[in-house]
Amino acid sequence: MADTVPHLKLTYEGANKVLAAAVAKANAMGVPQCIVVADDGGHMLAFARMDGAKVLSIDSATMKAKTAASSRVPTGGIPDAVLEGRLVAATQGKLTNLKGGFPIVVDGKVIGAIGVGSGTGEQDIEVALAGLAALSGAKTAF
Amino acid sequence: MADTVPHLKLTYEGANKVLAAAVAKANAMGVPQCIVVADDGGHMLAFARMDGAKVLSIDSATMKAKTAASSRVPTGGIPDAVLEGRLVAATQGKLTNLKGGFPIVVDGKVIGAIGVGSGTGEQDIEVALAGLAALSGAKTAF
Amino acid sequence: MADTVPHLKLTYEGANKVLAAAVAKANAMGVPQCIVVADDGGHMLAFARMDGAKVLSIDSATMKAKTAASSRVPTGGIPDAVLEGRLVAATQGKLTNLKGGFPIVVDGKVIGAIGVGSGTGEQDIEVALAGLAALSGAKTAF
Amino acid sequence: MADTVPHLKLTYEGANKVLAAAVAKANAMGVPQCIVVADDGGHMLAFARMDGAKVLSIDSATMKAKTAASSRVPTGGIPDAVLEGRLVAATQGKLTNLKGGFPIVVDGKVIGAIGVGSGTGEQDIEVALAGLAALSGAKTAF
């Protein structure tokens, strides 16, 4: 393998597009949300706390985005509570198995993640997927 | 929606009125309590640790108030222990599902929260509701 | 004083308007920034990390917004390094004296704060003030 | 020495008397304050955040009370910055040398402490001393 490989980088403009689409979906659903769009290192690029969303969901949505950026798969898929507990402990609480975090995948490359929180798990997923759908070429089926 | 919307702010005088009523109720019950009244951001406005109340309930009562201010509903309503554990972990322990935290709601607006701890969950609830009842127009049925 | 007093609440729409104006200013200056808009409790409402802005400025911009929301004055005004060190220690690092944080003041009421970081202190101030200027009625001279 | 010795315990009623006097003084001065009254273990008994006091002063006032309860002398007396730094580090940041914390001393016994923050150091001291003066027999000259 070469020393470096081509990659794609999610811009703030791209992140903001994902964010705006997710906000629009949450508005249409009548479910206020905290929405984080992060880069492939899990670091926040864009954020919205909609009117009525929970303050503590700032934390959980952020952790969903970080977990999805790291694992490259949607959050919520750890099937076993014992394994989940070990993973949470081994990362000193940086990982969450709450639903609502998704990697942003374009051309097979993980370029970032979205994390949504303040609704039910299913509502969070719906809003996150609406965000992904706004980014040309982003994977929306997992 | 507009850039700003009319809101209400809980004053220290109002917070102290809620606190005093909760203290009086706890005295009448013979159950010493730690009682926190917070603003809508979850930041403490007024506090009492009655004679005999537990020192560690300073922490739990504070967390109940912060959780209720964030979620805008009474604490203790997360029905599932697995979900509860995940929410606690994802907020790095900032959220509690212990009973005894209530939002302070006036004219449909959440303007603060009360958190009570050191008794049983049911005693904590009774004291918190007595605090709410002292504030003119505050919601006391949840 | 009454139990409650009339207040104003910064909406997500208002916060996003402040954010967008600050981003536009930073773009015009050619200085990528991390920009946080928070409510009056210091809790994040809207955020942007522009292309090229520092990852660690996510933290410093957030702390500038929290400090300005708490103190109700622009950050950077503590004149004495010894006092600054004591205040930072006594808040366990929650307070910053870096320039670039401003309260959002409308009708004499502090309804939120903006924190900007990744440029020089003077650049951060310039971007923050451009954000404030976008909000109708917000104070821009301190 | 005997296995146990007579002591005095500050009640919530006593703590609340100190708090109310300090609040009244701060009101008269027109300086909103965060005021903590703690027991001899440094654990909070009573608290007020007056309208306009800084949110982050919740932390600093609490730390002033804890420091004064522990050291049994007013805070702010460490004369040497190097020593201060070592003490702060050696207590993992639990000690403050900010002015505004005083032990509550009755009959030569330290039974608690008051910590005041949000004003200047001198204002904080003035409010703390007014609180002490409300408690019969409490030392007010240091």
B32: closest chain D residue by CA: D12
Residues of C with Cβ-Cβ distance to B5 under 8 angstroms: 8-9, 11
Does pLDDT of B1 surpass 70?
Answer: no
- Residue C33 one-letter amino acid: Q
Q: Which chains touch A (3 or more CB pairs under 8 A)?
A: B, C
Cross-chain residue pair B43–D51, CB shorter than 8 Å:
no
Q: Which CATH superfamily is domain C12-133 in?
A: Haem-degrading domain (3.30.450.150)
Q: Which of B90, B61, B64 is nearest to B75 (CA)?
A: B64
Cross-chain residue pair B45–D43, CB shorter than 8 Å:
no
Does pLDDT of B112 surpass 80?
Answer: yes
- Counting beta carbons within 10 angstroms of the beta carbon of residue A141, is it exposed (0 to 12), middle (13 to 18) or buried (19 or more)? exposed
Secondary structure string (H, E, C) spanning chain D: CCCCCCCCCCCHHHHHHHHHHHHHHHHHHCCCCEEEEEECCCCEEEEEECCCCCCCHHHHHHHHHHHHHHHCCCCCCCCCHHHHHHHHHHCCCCCCCCCCEEEEEECCEEEEEEEEECCCHHHHHHHHHHHHHCCCCECCCC
Secondary structure string (H, E, C) spanning chain A: CCCCCCCCCCCHHHHHHHHHHHHHHHHHHCCCCEEEEEECCCCEEEEEECCCCCCCHHHHHHHHHHHHHHHCCCCCCCCCHHHHHHHHHHCCCCCCCCCCEEEEEECCEEEEEEEEECCCHHHHHHHHHHHHHCCCCECCCC
What's the start-to-end Cα distance of chain C, in Å? 28
Give A 47-66 residues with CB within 8 A of chain C. Answer: 47-51, 55, 58
Does pLDDT of A9 surpass 80?
Answer: yes
In this complex, the residue of C71, C90, C92 whose CB is nearest that of residue D98 is: C90
Residue range A112-141: mean pLDDT, rounded: 97
Residues of C with Cβ-Cβ distance to A43 under 8 angstroms: 49, 55, 58
Distance CA B100, CA B75 (A): 6
Distance CA D86, CA D80 (A): 10
Residues of B with Cβ-Cβ distance to A93 under 8 angstroms: 89, 92
Residues of A with Cβ-Cβ distance to C11 under 8 angstroms: 51
Distance CA B6, CA D68 (A): 42
In this complex, the residue of B4, B7, B9 whose CB is nearest that of residue C14 is: B4
Name the residue ranges covered by the structural domains of chain B. 12-133
User: What is the phi-psi region of residue A83: left when phi exceeds 0, alpha when psi lies from -120 to 50, beta otherwise?
Assistant: alpha
**Tokens standing for residue D126:** 């003035």
**Is chain D adjacent to chain B, meaning 3+ CB pairs within 8 angstroms?**
yes
What is the gyration radius of the CA atoms in chain C, in angstroms?
Answer: 14
Distances (CA, A) of A109 to A8, A18, A112, A138, C78: 7, 17, 9, 10, 47
CA C35 to chain CA centroid, nearest Å: 8
Cross-chain residue pair A46–C51, CB shorter than 8 Å:
no
User: Which helix or strand (DSSP H or E) is residue C9 part of?
Assistant: strand C4-10
Distance between D2 CA and the closest CA of chain C, angstroms: 38
Cross-chain residue pair C111–B5, CB shorter than 8 Å:
no
User: Which helix or strand (DSSP H or E) is residue B125 part of?
Assistant: helix B121-133
Task: Provide the percentage of residues in chain A whose pLDDT is more than 70.
Answer: 100
For chain C, which ranges sit under pLDDT 70?
A: 1
Task: Provide the percentage of residues in chain B whose pLDDT is more than 70.
Answer: 99
Cross-chain residue pair C58–A43, CB shorter than 8 Å:
yes
Q: Which chains touch D (3 or more CB pairs under 8 A)?
A: B, C
Is some CB atom of chain B closer than 8 A to the CB atom of A81?
Answer: yes
Q: State the best of D13, D35, D51, D56 to mutate against chain B, taking most chain B CBs within 10 Å.
A: D51
Distance between C42 CA and the closest CA of chain B, angstroms: 8
Distance CA C126, CA A57 (A): 31
**Partners of A39 in beta bridges:** A112
Cross-chain residue pair C7–B9, CB shorter than 8 Å:
yes
Name residues whose C-beta falls within 8 Å of residue A28's C-beta, 6 or more positions apart in sequence: none
The answer to whether A116 and A104 have CB atoms below 8 angstroms apart is no
Write out pLDDT tens, residues D75-117. Answer: 999 999 999 999 999 999 999 999 999 999 999 999 999 999 9
Distance CA B45, CA D50 (A): 7
Residue range D57-84: mean pLDDT, rounded: 97
Task: Provide the percentage of residues in chain B whose pLDDT is more than 90.
Answer: 99
Write out pLDDT tens, residues B117-129. Answer: 999 999 999 999 9
User: Which helix or strand (DSSP H or E) is residue C126 part of?
Assistant: helix C121-133
ipTM, two decimals: 0.96
DSSP 8-class letter at C142: -
Is some CB atom of chain D closer than 8 A to the CB atom of C72?
Answer: yes
Distance CA D38, CA D41 (A): 8
Q: State the best of A9, A16, A18, A54 to mutate against chain C, taking most chain C CBs within 10 Å.
A: A16
Residue A130 CB neighbour total at 10 angstroms: 21
Instruction: Write the DSSP assignment of B23-75 as a string of letters.
Output: HHHHHHHT---EEEEEETTS-EEEEEE-TT--TTHHHHHHHHHHHHHHHSS-T
**Tokens standing for residue C129:** 């003030």
Give C 25-44 residues with CB within 8 A of chain B. Answer: 39-43
Is some CB atom of chain C closer than 8 A to the CB atom of B136?
Answer: yes
Distance CA C107, CA D5 (A): 58
Q: Which chains touch C (3 or more CB pairs under 8 A)?
A: A, B, D
Name residues whose C-beta falls within 8 Å of residue D86's C-beta, 6 or more positions apart in sequence: none
Does pLDDT of A1 surpass 80?
Answer: no
Distance between D61 CA and the closest CA of chain C, angstroms: 8
In this complex, the residue of A12, A43, A51 whose CB is nearest that of residue C48 is: A12
Cross-chain residue pair A63–B1, CB shorter than 8 Å:
no
Write out pLDDT tens, residues D1-27. Answer: 799 999 999 999 999 999 999 999 999
pTM of the predicted protein model: 0.97
- CA-CA-CA-CA torsion sign (A105, A106, A108, A110): negative
Average per-residue pLDDT for chain A:
97
